[in-house]
Chains A and B, each alone.
Chain A
Amino acid sequence: MRRFLQRRSTVAFLMCLPLILLIGGLVVYPALYAIYLAMLNKRMTQFVGLGNFEFLLRRATFHLVMFQSCLFAVTAVAAKALLGFLLAHLMHVIPGRHQRIWRGLLLIPWVVPLALSTLGWWWLFDPSYSAFNWLLAKLGAPTVPWLGATGWARFCMILVNTWYGTPFFMIMYLAALKSVPEQLFEAAAIDGAGAWGKLRFVTLPMMRNIISITVLFSLIVTFADFTIVRILTNGGPRDTTHIFATYAFQMGIQSGDIPLGAATSLFMLPILAVASFFILRGVSRRDREMAAA
């Protein structure tokens, strides 16, 4: 018994046990249960198989929701990745002792609880009290129905998500940048590479994995976002800003059709699973290449 307990794999398994219990009990089990729920009828008295999924796929509004979720997630993640990359580089240029204050200021959007900062944004967009519109009016420009017109409302939710998420990208990229050995840049500089050359042939290859992982992580979280849309627009105007989570909420909780809400949420899974399959495959392939090199 004692020897068994000291065997490496046993110890390792025991160390992983809390994690396995947590994931199994509070993620996998409820997820399976939710999948079961998604296959019931509205009153949850009858098993209908894939009926709910089929039903959703036939609804024009649901097509809109799928399109908007993808639009929102892809645009916001792209914006965050680009801005985060830019900021990390700007930050990397300035001397280390000055970085602290700048980093601190730029991290604030990420640090403030999202629900509360979104309320602040919402107040900035309010039809009657919008401080942005006040500025526009002062400048003689026409005021903007920030959350009232489809284009603007979509822009606003992407803007708020970008504002919130960019600092996280910046920090991750900055961490990755710092871990690129300085000799590589020096070698590139000696070879006469300019900023563009360094970026293309040193920074990007070195950061590729961290970029992939951060993008994947953010894609997942952004896809599943609830707070921003719920507080800013709640799906309006005309359902043109609904994304999976808010639509699922409206179906499941507000309209009392829990199975349909669960089915809506479940649609996120395959989309994200495919995305993560490709991203993670790329990551592990590069890992192997690097190990081999």
Chain B
Amino acid sequence: MNKLSRRAVLGAAAATASLPLVHIRSAAAAGKLTLGLWDHWVPAGNAAMRKIIEGWADKNKVEVSIDFITSVGNKNLITIAAEAQARTGHDVQAFQAWDVHNYQQELEPMDDVVAPLIAKYGKVNPVNEYLSKIGGHWLAVPSSSGTQYKPSSARISFFRDAGLDVQAMYPARPEHTALSDQWTWQKMLELAPKAQQAGLAFGLGLGQTTDSVDFVGALFHGYGAELVNAKGEITVDSDPVKQALEYMAKLAPHLPPDVYSYDDASNNRALISGKSALIFNPPSAWAVAVRDNRPVGEDCWTFPNPSGEKGRFVPYLPYSWGIWSFAKNKSAAKDLLSFLCQREQVEALCTAVDGYDIPPFLSMADFDVWAKVGPPLGTVYNYPIRPWHNATPSIAGFPAPPDIAVQIYNRATMTTMVAKMTQGGQSMKDVIAWAKDELEGFTR
């Protein structure tokens, strides 16, 4: 961010140029505005969001009504589907990762909101760009609310006993350690049997919900394994995919037998109940452990995922705010969204939820909150990807064209491949043949 590139300068210039425009719209912003936002798991998150938005509403004389819609049972997805079909509903909706793509025809372009933000804050998380920038246009504004990484959430004591001091490996200060280079998928595989013997088998899901899909997706990226490449060609029958599958075949016997039915809460419960030494999850599991099972909570440390030959990938699952093309008050909505994306607001929200939210603008990965939260102090310091982590945000299915990738993701093709082999006892050849058939269906 320190280097001032030509593009950044140009961008900044563009931003200044567009600033007056924004202000003119501000003056016109009035009337009613309805928002459907993600129902935050930390109750304080909703309250903080409401306070910020109401402050804006008072100042701009806009009458705002907010519904917090939960992602439990995919309620938010269903609501979005309902609104798209009925062509009526909230002006602004919070879209989960792939939904921007699914509803691209019903979404208002947001370039005039996102471009100034990029000019001001620099690079956006590449996954956001992959998901929301369609045909060169931003169709939604990357949001921090609910956006999460799924890094390692590990028991300090187990790893110390196994010879790996995770606190020294990823200390709570801006420092790259040599030790962290040893945190590889291979290393994790070596530790898995030890954890299993200690009654702390790694709770790594192989089910069909996001936590499982994200973890396996990051692993596949670590091996450079792509089911479908960026051009849309099916590349599942390739060496990297086979390597990744082989790795999983070695790992799976050391995971709990239930991992195939894991949902997004099962891994949390495995950690909280003290039955698992490692899960890949946002710090929500740790936060509940602190509340309900404190000895476990105090023994947790968050840090990036293991790395593979092709690098270190951390699963990233973002939310975006979009405006329906049939929304009634687009100008006020755009105004509010660009206000919410300013650093002050993002930081206030992030602090209110103890650092759970990840800001989509990489320059904001330096909020104080991650250093201040405990116990143990600094446990989530390495939750956001820091520049010295040498890590890349990942989403399963990338880099396939998003309309194919969304199906790879939602149909959990990767975890199903792994499960067919490790649980269903099928040969790798059969599994790849099955995946090929499935992927051909996706590319129709």
A residues bordering B, Cβ < 8 Å? 42-43, 55, 58-61, 126-129, 143, 145-150, 153, 230, 233-239, 250, 252-258
Number of interface residues of B (CB under 8 A): 45
Chain A residues with CB under 8 Å of B206's CB are: 237
Asked whether, in the complex, the Cβ of A149 is within 8 Å of the Cβ of B423, the reply is yes
Asked whether, in the complex, the Cβ of A250 is within 8 Å of the Cβ of B269, the reply is no
Within 8 A of A (CB), among B178-230: 206-209
B407 interface residue, CB < 8 Å from A?
A: yes
Chain A residues with CB under 8 Å of B101's CB are: 256
Asked whether, in the complex, the Cβ of A148 is within 8 Å of the Cβ of B259, the reply is yes
Chain B 68-86: CB-based contact to A (< 8 A → 1; otherwise 0): 0000011001100100010
| Given known A-B contacts A128-B273, A148-B261, A237 and B438 have beta carbons under 8 A apart | no
Residue of B99, B105, B208, B270 most packed against chain A (CB within 10 A): B208
Asked whether, in the complex, the Cβ of B406 is within 8 Å of the Cβ of A237, the reply is no
Taking the closest CB of chain A, its distance from the CB of B108, in whole angstroms, is 18
Taking the closest CB of chain B, its distance from the CB of A126, in whole angstroms, is 7
Residue of B73, B256, B258 most packed against chain A (CB within 10 A): B258
B328 interface residue, CB < 8 Å from A?
A: no
Asked whether, in the complex, the Cβ of B258 is within 8 Å of the Cβ of A127, the reply is yes
B386 interface residue, CB < 8 Å from A?
A: no
B382 interface residue, CB < 8 Å from A?
A: no
Asked whether, in the complex, the Cβ of A234 is within 8 Å of the Cβ of B263, the reply is yes
Across the interface, name the chain B residue whose C-beta is closest to A255. B410
Asked whether, in the complex, the Cβ of B256 is within 8 Å of the Cβ of A127, the reply is yes
6 CB < 8 A contacts A-B: A59-B438, A128-B272, A147-B258, A253-B77, A254-B410, A257-B407
Chain A residues with CB under 8 Å of B423's CB are: 149-150, 237-238
Within 8 A of A (CB), among B261-318: 261-263, 266, 269-270, 272-273, 275-276
- Cα A237 to Cα B406 in complex, Å, equals 20
Within 8 A of A (CB), among B415-444: 416, 419-420, 423-424, 434, 437-438, 441, 444
Asked whether, in the complex, the Cβ of A128 is within 8 Å of the Cβ of B269, the reply is yes
Asked whether, in the complex, the Cβ of A55 is within 8 Å of the Cβ of B419, the reply is no
Asked whether, in the complex, the Cβ of A128 is within 8 Å of the Cβ of B266, the reply is yes
Asked whether, in the complex, the Cβ of B77 is within 8 Å of the Cβ of A61, the reply is no
Asked whether, in the complex, the Cβ of B261 is within 8 Å of the Cβ of A127, the reply is yes
Taking the closest CB of chain B, its distance from the CB of A82, in whole angstroms, is 28
Asked whether, in the complex, the Cβ of A256 is within 8 Å of the Cβ of B261, the reply is no
| Cross-interface CB contact of A238 among B102, B103, B263, B419, cutoff 8 Å | B419
Asked whether, in the complex, the Cβ of A239 is within 8 Å of the Cβ of B261, the reply is no
Asked whether, in the complex, the Cβ of A43 is within 8 Å of the Cβ of B424, the reply is no
Asked whether, in the complex, the Cβ of B105 is within 8 Å of the Cβ of A59, the reply is no
Chain B residues with CB under 8 Å of A55's CB are: 441, 444
Taking the closest CB of chain A, its distance from the CB of B12, in whole angstroms, is 36
B residues bordering A, Cβ < 8 Å? 73-74, 77-78, 81, 85, 98-99, 101-103, 105, 206-209, 256-263, 266, 269-270, 272-273, 275-276, 406-407, 410-411, 416, 419-420, 423-424, 434, 437-438, 441, 444
- Cα A45 to Cα B406 in complex, Å, equals 19
- Cα A253 to Cα B73 in complex, Å, equals 12
Across the interface, name the chain A residue whose C-beta is closest to B418. A238
Chain A residues with CB under 8 Å of B99's CB are: 256
Residue of A61, A146, A237 most packed against chain B (CB within 10 A): A237
- Cα A150 to Cα B259 in complex, Å, equals 12
Chain A residues with CB under 8 Å of B73's CB are: 230
| Cross-interface CB contact of B416 among A147, A230, A238, cutoff 8 Å | A238
Asked whether, in the complex, the Cβ of A253 is within 8 Å of the Cβ of B273, the reply is no
Asked whether, in the complex, the Cβ of A60 is within 8 Å of the Cβ of B437, the reply is yes
Asked whether, in the complex, the Cβ of A145 is within 8 Å of the Cβ of B261, the reply is yes
Chain B residues with CB under 8 Å of A58's CB are: 441
Chain A residues with CB under 8 Å of B259's CB are: 127, 148
Chain B residues with CB under 8 Å of A235's CB are: 208
| Cross-interface CB contact of B257 among A42, A129, A149, A238, cutoff 8 Å | A149
Taking the closest CB of chain A, its distance from the CB of B84, in whole angstroms, is 9
Asked whether, in the complex, the Cβ of A127 is within 8 Å of the Cβ of B262, the reply is yes
Asked whether, in the complex, the Cβ of B257 is within 8 Å of the Cβ of A234, the reply is no
Asked whether, in the complex, the Cβ of A254 is within 8 Å of the Cβ of B441, the reply is no
Asked whether, in the complex, the Cβ of A148 is within 8 Å of the Cβ of B74, the reply is no
- Give the 9 A-B CB pairs with smallest separation, nearest first: A256-B102, A127-B258, A237-B260, A147-B261, A148-B258, A148-B261, A145-B257, A128-B269, A145-B258
Asked whether, in the complex, the Cβ of A236 is within 8 Å of the Cβ of B261, the reply is yes
Chain B residues with CB under 8 Å of A239's CB are: 208, 416
- Cα A58 to Cα B407 in complex, Å, equals 17
Asked whether, in the complex, the Cβ of A234 is within 8 Å of the Cβ of B209, the reply is yes
- Cα A230 to Cα B75 in complex, Å, equals 13
Asked whether, in the complex, the Cβ of A250 is within 8 Å of the Cβ of B207, the reply is no
Chain B residues with CB under 8 Å of A255's CB are: 102, 406-407, 410-411
User: Contacts A128-B270, A146-B261, A250-B410 given; 11 further ones with Cβ under 8 A?
Assistant: A60-B434, A127-B259, A145-B260, A147-B258, A148-B262, A236-B261, A237-B260, A238-B416, A253-B78, A255-B411, A257-B407
Chain B residues with CB under 8 Å of A257's CB are: 407
Chain A residues with CB under 8 Å of B209's CB are: 234
Chain A residues with CB under 8 Å of B269's CB are: 126-129
Chain B residues with CB under 8 Å of A43's CB are: 105
- Cα A266 to Cα B259 in complex, Å, equals 33
Across the interface, name the chain B residue whose C-beta is closest to A56. B441
Across the interface, name the chain A residue whose C-beta is closest to B269. A128
Chain A residues with CB under 8 Å of B270's CB are: 127-128
| Cross-interface CB contact of A59 among B263, B275, B441, cutoff 8 Å | B441
Chain B residues with CB under 8 Å of A60's CB are: 434, 437-438
Chain A residues with CB under 8 Å of B437's CB are: 59-60
Across the interface, name the chain B residue whose C-beta is closest to A256. B102
Asked whether, in the complex, the Cβ of A237 is within 8 Å of the Cβ of B410, the reply is no
Chain B residues with CB under 8 Å of A128's CB are: 266, 269-270, 272-273, 275-276
Taking the closest CB of chain A, its distance from the CB of B11, in whole angstroms, is 32
Asked whether, in the complex, the Cβ of A237 is within 8 Å of the Cβ of B261, the reply is yes
Chain A residues with CB under 8 Å of B77's CB are: 253-254
Asked whether, in the complex, the Cβ of B78 is within 8 Å of the Cβ of A237, the reply is no
| Given known A-B contacts A126-B266, A129-B269, A148 and B260 have beta carbons under 8 A apart | yes
Chain B residues with CB under 8 Å of A153's CB are: 261
Across the interface, name the chain B residue whose C-beta is closest to A153. B261
